[in-house]
Amino acid sequence: MNKKIHFFQSINFKIALVFILLLMVTLEIIGAYFVKQLEQQNIQTFKQQVQTPAYVNNQLADDLLKTDATSANKEIGNVLADLNNSADIRVVDSKGIIRGTSDVNDQGEVGQKTPDSDVKNVLYNNRSYETLSYDKKNQASYYVTIVPLINPSGDSNSVVGAIYVRANMESVYKGINSITIIFLTASLVAALFSSVIAIVISRAITRPIDEMKKQAIRMARGDYSGQVRIYGQDELGQLAVAVNNLSVRVEEAQEASEAERRRLDSVLSHMTDGVISTDRRGNVIIINEAAADFLDVDDSAVIGQSILQILKIGNDHTIRDLLENQTELMLDFSSHEHDLILHAEFSLIQRETGFISGIVCVLHDVTEQQKDERERRQFVSNVSHELRTPLTSMRSYLEALTDGAWKDPKVAPDFLHVTQEETDRMIRMINDLLSLSRMDSGTVKMDMELVNLNELFNYVLNRFDMMIKADTSAADNNRTEARNLPANKKYSIKREFTKRDLWVEIDTDKFMQVIDNIMNNAIKYSPDGGVVTCRLLETNNHVILSISDQGLGIPKKDLPHVFDRFYRVDKARSRAQGGTGLGLAISKEVVEALNGRIWVDSEEGKGSTFYISLSYQPYDEEEDDLWDEN
Ligand code: ADP
């Protein structure tokens, strides 16, 4: 941009050149006129000098009229000698005979007839003649004038002779030439001086312009620090002030737009939604971090690529399509590792004139919403299904009873027992669903209290011990309360508790329900005579409660789902045992509401271990002592 300007292209040179040319033209015109005028003047003076005065002419005419030729010639010679004229003068009488000459060395001519035809013409015509001629032999210009001599006492037509004057004009021309040379030298010197002055003056004019040019170049480079020096109050001075103001304004505007850009950048990069902006042809010009993360691309690498390509919609859509009618799209970017459903919203970047200059695409991660929506639909279908199964089976039993089976004392009680069990299961399921829904809506209030976990766990396990005994004595009212356990199942409970009392803050009732649930499952899904090992231990700031059984175990693929609602590894078996598929889901909700964690480890065919960890603040012994003292 900053191309060096050659001196001959600069304004500086041009101004100086104009100056000098003007000066030269003026000088030349004046000079030519002056020299011409001078030349005419000089020639005029010269002519006057060399022409013989009238009184001399009269005297010569008188002499020519004299009859004594010899004395007359002598007289004429004297007159010519007295004339003191540098010119060559001859006097010729009316017959064309030379009667006198001013040339001392050529007195021999006197008395001879003149060969000059011009003289004869003058004598004949009685008219003066003058001419300027160039003598090549002498290389000089000559002025020749021939004047007829009139008889002073006679009439004007009586010619008595003529006077012939021939003068060398070299002196005149020499004078003019030397003046011309002086003039030329003077104008050359003037031109020289004036070119120096012109350069100095034009420098003075162009220097501020040059500085402004440099400032403009600096501004273009983004450097606004400089200031143009102001040399005066003239137009250039005002221009310099304007340039300085402009520089400040541009800097402010630049800063403002830079700040705006940074703000936009930071908004874009901190947005959780992805934003992609393209040009008119749909090629990416801006992509924020979120969008690059969603699409798993390198943000700088996709600049310039088509948006269709990076959104992988090239097969179904065109840019025209997006520009004209597509405002929203659902895009599935799920991979093996994770699900990703994106909602893409397109809008046009349009100028006031209506000219479309690009597309903005906002990507919103709707994976969770989609999943929730799917789960909700799944849940509704599961609930309907779960309720329909017991109802259908009850209906068939009740139909059989109405069809007459009620009279049969062998089957009627069994049938009634089944319907009662199904009803119980439905009630349990509905109760479970209600507590889940209460948990979901957040209306469940946790009654937190500080509880000795060792005692609580022991208490629950004792109840299970009691049930075995009750079973063996065949009287059981607890069974339904503790979810329905298969009758007569043998099992033993082994406890491995830490010695230290572990005090934790929990909602006792709900936590007991959780342990109940896991214990029930451990027994339900274990063979007869299995051992259930219950452990209680502490880590730095957690207590961990675990219940291991020696039962069926859970296949690896089902492990992540056993806490899902209605999820059962073996549906028929679970249902046969009165399960609802909601127990572990409720347990998980409760544990999470207590800020704890629940998980399972299992090996198919060998058994499962369920773990619950709760955060725990170990009691300081000293603090305990303090309390005791108080
Ligand atoms: P259910 O009422 O069917 O027992 P849960 O939510 O309590 O429902 O358990 C979900 C599923 O997890 C069960 O159907 C069962 O397949 C599996 N499960 C739970 N606990 C155990 C366990 N201790 N051993 C093997 N499978 C288990």
Q: What is the pLDDT of residues 176-201, one digit of tens each?
A: 889 889 888 988 898 888 888 888 88
Distance CA 255, CA 257 (A): 5
Same domain, 428 and 475: no
Domain C-terminal end among 443, 458, 479: 443
Of all atoms in ligand 1, which is nearest to the CA of residue 547? 23
Average pLDDT of span 55-62:
87
Does residue 534 sit within a domain?
yes
- Residue 149, number of CB atoms within 10 A of its CB: 28
Instruction: Compute, in angstroms, the gap from residue 570 CA to the centroid of ligand 1.
Output: 9
Average pLDDT of span 564-587:
84
Domain C-terminal end among 340, 365, 390: 365
- Tell me phi and psi for residue 593, to 5 degrees: -65, -25
pLDDT band at 515 (very low <50, low <70, confident <90, very high): very high
Domain C-terminal end among 168, 191, 222: 168
Nearest residue to 357 (alpha-carbon basis) of 308, 323, 309 = 323
Cβ of residue 608 lying under 6 Å from some atom of ligand 1: yes
Same domain, 356 and 454: no
SS3 content of the chain, % helix, strand, coil (to 5): 55, 20, 30
Q: Considering only 514-528, 535-549, 610-624, which range has the smallest mean pLDDT?
A: 610-624
Cβ of residue 251 lying under 6 Å from some atom of ligand 1: no
Distance CA 285, CA 304 (A): 6
Average pLDDT of span 313-317:
89
Does residue 237 sit within a domain?
no
Distance CA 617, CA 453 (A): 13
- Tell me phi and psi for residue 141, to 5 degrees: -90, 140
Same domain, 379 and 468: no
Contact 92, 119 (CB under 8 A): yes
Does residue 182 sit within a domain?
no
Question: For residues 261-278, b (16+ Cβ closer than 10 Å) or e, as one string?
Answer: eeeeeeebeeeebbbbbb
Q: Considering only 323-327, 337-341, 554-558, 561-565, which range has the smallest mean pLDDT?
A: 323-327
Does residue 35 sit within a domain?
no
Distance CA 312, CA 546 (A): 48
Average pLDDT of span 413-425:
90
Same domain, 495 and 560: yes
Ligand 1 binding pocket mutation candidate from 389, 521, 550 (most atoms within 8 A of CB): 521
Does residue 179 sit within a domain?
no
Same domain, 164 and 122: yes
Same domain, 503 and 587: yes
CATH number where 425 lies: 1.10.287.130
Contact 99, 66 (CB under 8 A): no
Distance CA 390, CA 385 (A): 9
Domain span including residue 96: 51-168
Nearest residue to 341 (alpha-carbon basis) of 387, 318, 372, 314 = 372
Q: Which residue has the tokens 């209506």?
A: 354
Q: Which residue has the tokens 């051992």?
A: 531
pLDDT in tens, 150-175: 887 777 678 888 999 988 888 888 88
Does residue 387 sit within a domain?
yes
Helices (H), 222-336: 235-270, 289-295, 307-310, 319-324
Which residue has a Cα nearest atom 8 of ligand 1? 581
For the residues of 243-273, what is the DSSP string, one character each? HHHHHHHHHHHHHHHHHHHHHHHHHHHH-SS
Same domain, 469 and 378: no
Does residue 121 sit within a domain?
yes
How many distinct structural domains can be found in the chain? 4
Same domain, 117 and 62: yes
Beta partners for residue 610, in sequence order: 547, 600
Instruction: Compute, in angstroms, the gap from residue 568 CA to the centroid of ligand 1.
Output: 6
The SS3 assignment for 135 reads strand
Cβ of residue 583 lying under 6 Å from some atom of ligand 1: yes
- Residue 601, number of CB atoms within 10 A of its CB: 14
Which residue has a Cα nearest atom 7 of ligand 1? 583
Nearest residue to 435 (alpha-carbon basis) of 424, 422, 449, 446 = 446
Contact 533, 547 (CB under 8 A): yes
Instruction: Compute, in angstroms, the gap from residue 535 CA to the centroid of ligand 1.
Output: 20
Cβ of residue 513 lying under 6 Å from some atom of ligand 1: no
Cβ of residue 518 lying under 6 Å from some atom of ligand 1: no
Cβ of residue 293 lying under 6 Å from some atom of ligand 1: no
Q: Which residue has the tokens 């119980």?
A: 424
Cβ of residue 415 lying under 6 Å from some atom of ligand 1: no
Does residue 413 sit within a domain?
yes
Same domain, 415 and 457: no
Cβ of residue 562 lying under 6 Å from some atom of ligand 1: yes
CATH number where 331 lies: 3.30.450.20
Kind plus residue range of the DSSP H or E element containing 160 = strand 159-168
Instruction: Compute, in angstroms, the gap from residue 521 CA to the centroid of ligand 1.
Output: 6
Distance CA 452, CA 471 (A): 29
pLDDT in tens, 352-403: 898 888 999 999 999 999 988 988 898 889 889 888 988 998 999 999 999 9
Phi-psi region at 488: left, alpha or beta (left = phi > 0; alpha = psi -120 to 50):
left
What pLDDT sits at residue 151? 83
CATH number where 582 lies: 3.30.565.10
Instruction: Compute, in angstroms, the gap from residue 520 CA to the centroid of ligand 1.
Output: 9
Same domain, 430 and 302: no
Instruction: Indicate whether 36 pLDDT > 50.
Output: yes
The SS3 assignment for 581 reads coil
Same domain, 533 and 486: yes
What pLDDT sits at residue 487? 58
Same domain, 472 and 592: yes
Ligand 1 binding pocket mutation candidate from 562, 586, 609, 611 (most atoms within 8 A of CB): 562
What pLDDT sits at residue 59? 87
